[in-house]
Amino acid sequence: MQRRSISTPLHPSILPIDNSQLSELRRPQEEDSTYKIRHAKKFARNLIDGE
C-alpha cells in the first residue's frame, strides 16, 4: 500500500508548497517575459530621470 502511494503522480493539494510558489512554477513563459520587459522599461525610465 505504501509503495503504491509513492508511485502515484503528485497532486497540487499534496505538494508541500504554498499557492504563491505553485503559481510561480506554473506561470507561462510569455507572462514571465512581459514582466521582465515591464521591469526593464521601469529601470530605463529611472536611469533617464536620474540623468
Binned average pLDDT, 10 residues per bin, the chain of 51 residues: 54 58 60 77 83 56
- Predicted local confidence at residue 49, as pLDDT: 80
Grid cell 497540487 is found at 12
pTM over 0.85: no
Instruction: Judge whether 16 lies within some domain.
Output: no
Give me the torsion for CA of 41, 47, 50, 51, rounded to 10°. -120
Total domains in the chain come to: 1
Instruction: Judge whether 20 lies within some domain.
Output: no
- Predicted local confidence at residue 21, as pLDDT: 60
Q: Which domain holds residue 51?
A: 26-51
Tell me the three state secondary structure of residue 6.
Answer: helix
- Predicted local confidence at residue 22, as pLDDT: 58
Query: Could you please report the per-residue DSSP string of 26-49?
Result: H--HHHHHHHHHHHHHHHHHHHHH
- Predicted local confidence at residue 51, as pLDDT: 56
